[in-house]
Amino acid sequence: MLKRRKFNEGITAGLFLAPSAVGFALFFFIPFLIGCYYSLMDSPVDGSFVGLRNYNDLLHNEVFRRAAWNTFRFTAISVPLNMLLSLGLAMMLNRSVYLRSLFRISFLFPLVIPVASVVLIWQIVFELNGSLNGLMQSWGMSPRDWMESHNSLAVVIIVYLWKNIGYNMVLFLAGLQNIPVDYYEAASIDGAGKFRQWRSITLVYLTPTTFFVFIISIINSFKVFRETYMIAGEYPHEDIYMMQHYMNNMFKSLDYQKLTSAAFLMALAITLLVFVLFLVERRITNSISG
């Protein structure tokens, strides 16, 4: 009787999951397999199998290596900055601060503003005849072409931080509010100072939240392509020519071999990074629970 009930529940769950499974197969899994097939062929139409030659050619492509390095550098700089700033703001707003509710809402504004409006704002600020250069000229400084110089990377990092700090701050704030106050009171009675409490309690019990925020931050770092593309175009300065620019240009030129090979190398790198992070997070969680 119990086995039959579980079987019926399994069928019911399968029926509810079927639409999502079909959508996943049609829009993700099957295109994934087709892309894998194209990356091993020399042409998408009547092509022949070439194995890993497309990947070898891609790794020796100077433009691809430049795009991969820029993507890695941008992520390595922007993600830690995003997490540190959002954690700092969350800790500040977790206390009794004047106009705390207003600050919480204001940091969420970038999430609801359309991308086109965001780009327009940053163009007004950073273009050659923009407000920032006008302010610099009023101070007797020479204007700069921010998006066509080595300063372009800093501009993209600022745009990324402005767009994502608020969301991560809310996640950290929720994690901070889930830490029992009794832990801090017990540590204070034992003579632990504020820094020791922050290091031994706050950071330790924020590990699951930190892991989730880190993954989300990495994903969002790849989404900055939209803003960069709309501000600087499809061929921006070499310092902000990302993997997404490369794949977009390969798609426009119908070079599916380079496109799919680059996409799979990028997916492999992200998968390995997430796998390592899962192992680290599990080890830390086990040490806490133990």
Kindly report, residue by residue over 19-52, the tens digit of the pLDDT: 888 888 888 888 888 888 888 887 777 778 887 8
Q: What is the C-alpha to C-alpha distance for residues 212 and 203, in angstroms, rounded to an integer?
A: 14
Residue 81 in this model has a pLDDT that exceeds 90: yes
Q: What is the C-alpha to C-alpha distance for residues 96 and 101, in angstroms, rounded to an integer?
A: 10
Residue 139 φ then ψ, to 5°: -95, 5
- Positive or negative: CA dihedral 83, 84, 89, 90: positive
Q: How many residues does the chain have?
A: 290
Which alpha helices (DSSP H) does 127-255 contain, by range?
A: 131-138, 152-177, 181-189, 194-197, 203-205, 207-222, 225-232, 243-252
Residue 100 in this model has a pLDDT that exceeds 70: no
Per-residue confidence at 82, pLDDT binned at 50, 70, 90?
A: very high
Residue range 251-259: mean pLDDT, rounded: 80
One-letter amino acid identity for 173? Answer: L
Residue 271 in this model has a pLDDT that exceeds 60: yes
What is 54-289's CATH number? 1.10.3720.10
Q: Quote the pLDDT of residue 126.
A: 77
Q: Nearest Cα to 248, choosing from 67, 120, 116?
A: 67
Q: Quote the pLDDT of residue 84.
A: 92
One-letter amino acid identity for 280? Answer: V
Q: What is the C-alpha to C-alpha distance for residues 177 and 93, in angstroms, rounded to an integer?
A: 11
Residue 49, token pair as written in the block: 């199998």
Per-residue confidence at 2, pLDDT binned at 50, 70, 90?
A: low
Q: How far lies 180's CA from each of 93, 185, 199, 206, 238, in Å? A: 17, 9, 15, 12, 49
Residue 43 CA from chain centroid, whole number: 32
Mean pLDDT of the chain: 81
* Separation of first and last alpha carbons in the chain: 38
Task: Provide the percentage of residues in the chain whose pLDDT is more than 90.
Answer: 3
Q: What is the C-alpha to C-alpha distance for residues 273 and 214, in angstroms, rounded to an integer?
A: 11
CATH 1.10.3720.10 in the chain, residue ranges: 54-289
Residue 259 in this model has a pLDDT that exceeds 70: yes
Q: Nearest Cα to 153, choosing from 263, 242, 250?
A: 242
One-letter amino acid identity for 114? Answer: P
Q: Quote the pLDDT of residue 99.
A: 65
Residue 231 in this model has a pLDDT that exceeds 80: no
Q: Nearest Cα to 70, choosing from 264, 237, 241?
A: 241
Residue range 179-185: mean pLDDT, rounded: 80
Q: What is 60-83 written as a DSSP string?
A: T-HHHHHHHHHHHHHHHHHHHHHH
